[in-house]
Amino acid sequence: MNRRSFLVLLAFAASCDPQKADWGFDPIDGMKTPPDDPARTCGASVPADASSPRRAACAFASGTHASESLGIDRSVLASLPIEHVIVAMKENRSFDHLLGKLHDRGQPGVEAVPSTYSNPDARGNAVFPAHATTTCLQLDPGHQSEGILRGMNGGKMDGFVQNAAATTASDGAFVMSYYDATDLPFDYWLASTFAVSDRHFAPMPSGTYANRDFLLFGTNDGVVDTGIVYPPPNTPSILQLLMARGRTWRAYSDGAILSGTLDWSAGDPGVRGMQSFYDDLDHGTLPSVAFVDAVDYVEDDHPEADLQRGETWLKSVYDHALKSPQWQRLAIVWTYDEAGGFADHVAPPTACRPLPSKSPFTQLGPRIPFVVISPWAKRNYVSHVVHDHTAITRFIEALFDLPALTERDANSDALLDLFDFSCGRDLSVPPAPSPGTGRCP
């Protein structure tokens, strides 16, 4: 069963299942977002990261506050001028596939795809990266744990073509395709104008549910492949931590909420449609953290979606954010849940175990695009710091003084090298190009 069929079945089951899990988040609909603190302004000086070796050694335990694991005084973190985080997580594209020409198209600090990189096909012939002929691929390579591990091939990163051939009616060569700025002008503009990471990896080599769970829980909590199980609703989450701290969150989408990861639907606590998201931005009523998802297979970039339509969706998010009264107080994280079986040349490293008794997984999955968009984001900057989605979790924990959920987020980088909070910077941004058109016949 593919993901689309599963989501249809899921929607039907949710509409008639009296045993649907109760996550206990009803109070969120009555909570008010604290007013922005005028004392949180420019001038915060984030010290050099001296704690990285200890985090690499997994020295920090669940419950550790970011001030300790990052070596930054709590007063400094409390002064950072970001009070609203938008997580715009899209679907199933690798870094090389979506932004493989970024090194040549506006961001030379990004690692280029080596000219020698290739994958063998079923006959052993080398397949090299090639410019995609369409922005609406009709093939969806296998991208659960078996397929991703086959593609990674023990770190050789040369099994993606054979995996795609085994899981689609094709020779698999399409997973070596790439796009450039002529195809995706707005995506490339974001990645070259703001702060991009070329070392952001999926939290584990698997599909949507497990990787999105890491963002929410700091662990996959027993979820490996999409559509089999959900984490128990009493699993400690970033959502609970925010509420306990008096901070708010919302999950916005006109499609599957959080891409179906928690079996939520419209009407569940904290869930809103996209018009509510745009209204909140326009009126300056955004919650502390907003999780924003596009419509499945239409705007979310999951094959067979048209990537240029996905660009249009992302530009709408950006345009409303730029005009929002809260623009000076927010950061948008644009990324992908996992690489979707598309090729990437960088071998993923390992990370800390989240919860050894429930999630012993340490192997990261393939690289995915990752851009921070904010007036406080460093301009035309490339981060080479290794991290996964739990770095987003740690960023939220750092901003709102929340304890770590697991060992994984406790030892994660909190993305602060992508920001510059100094005073006197020019916080204006150049005009953005329009999204691409005409590549989907």
Over the stretch 374-390, which tens digit does the pLDDT of each residue have?
A: 999 999 999 999 999 99
User: Looking at the predicted structure, is the pLDDT value of residue 15 above 50?
Assistant: no
User: Looking at the predicted structure, is the pLDDT value of residue 5 above 90?
Assistant: no
Rounded mean pLDDT, 21-43: 93
User: Looking at the predicted structure, is the pLDDT value of residue 10 above 60?
Assistant: no
User: Looking at the predicted structure, is the pLDDT value of residue 6 above 70?
Assistant: no
357 class by beta-carbon count within 10 Å (0-12 exposed, 13-18 middle, 19+ buried): exposed
Given this model, what pLDDT does residue 189 score? Answer: 97
Given this model, what pLDDT does residue 355 score? Answer: 77
Residue 221's pLDDT band (boundaries 50, 70, 90)?
confident
Q: Which of 37-46, 330-339, 408-417 has the lowest mean pLDDT?
A: 37-46
Residue 196's pLDDT band (boundaries 50, 70, 90)?
very high
Give all domains of the chain, ordered by start, each with its CATH number: 3-15+23-114+180-418 (3.40.720)
Residue scoring higher pLDDT (145 or 6): 145
Rounded mean pLDDT, 161-188: 97
Given this model, what pLDDT does residue 441 score? Answer: 79
Tell me what percent of the residues of the chain surpass a pLDDT of 90: 88
Rounded mean pLDDT, 180-188: 97
> What are residue 382's DSSP bridge partners?
196
Q: Which of 9-13, 120-124, 260-264 has the lowest mean pLDDT?
A: 9-13
What H or E segment, with its residue span, contains residue 290? strand 289-293
Residue 228's pLDDT band (boundaries 50, 70, 90)?
confident
Would you tell me the crossing angle of helices 307-323 and 274-283 to the nearest 10 degrees? 30
Angle (CA) 175-98-341 rounded to 5° is 35
Mean pLDDT value across the chain: 93
Each residue of 339-350: b (16+ CB within 10 Å) or e?
A: bbbbbbbbebee
User: Looking at the predicted structure, is the pLDDT value of residue 11 above 80?
Assistant: no
* The two three-digit tokens of residue 51, written as one number: 């704690």
Q: Which of 200-209, 261-270, 300-309, 355-364 has the lowest mean pLDDT?
A: 355-364
Rounded mean pLDDT, 29-37: 95
Q: Which of 1-15, 28-42, 272-286, 399-413 has the lowest mean pLDDT?
A: 1-15
Residue 4's pLDDT band (boundaries 50, 70, 90)?
low
User: Looking at the predicted structure, is the pLDDT value of residue 416 above 90?
Assistant: yes
Rounded mean pLDDT, 428-437: 95
Q: Which of these, 377, 254, 386, 258, lies nearest to 321 by C-alpha position?
A: 377
Specify whether the backbone of 266 is left (phi greater than 0), alpha (psi in -120 to 50) or beta: beta
CA 50 to chain centre: 26
User: Looking at the predicted structure, is the pLDDT value of residue 440 above 60?
Assistant: yes
List the helix and strand counts (H, then E) for the chain: 14, 12
Residue scoring higher pLDDT (6 or 289): 289
Tell me what percent of the residues of the chain surpass a pLDDT of 70: 95
Residue 166's pLDDT band (boundaries 50, 70, 90)?
very high
Given this model, what pLDDT does residue 2 score? Answer: 53
Q: How far apart are CA 59 and CA 411, in angstroms?
A: 7
Given this model, what pLDDT does residue 1 score? Answer: 47
Given this model, what pLDDT does residue 16 score? Answer: 44
Residue 357's pLDDT band (boundaries 50, 70, 90)?
low
Q: Which of 43-52, 92-101, 154-163, 274-283 has the lowest mean pLDDT?
A: 43-52
Given this model, what pLDDT does residue 55 score? Answer: 97
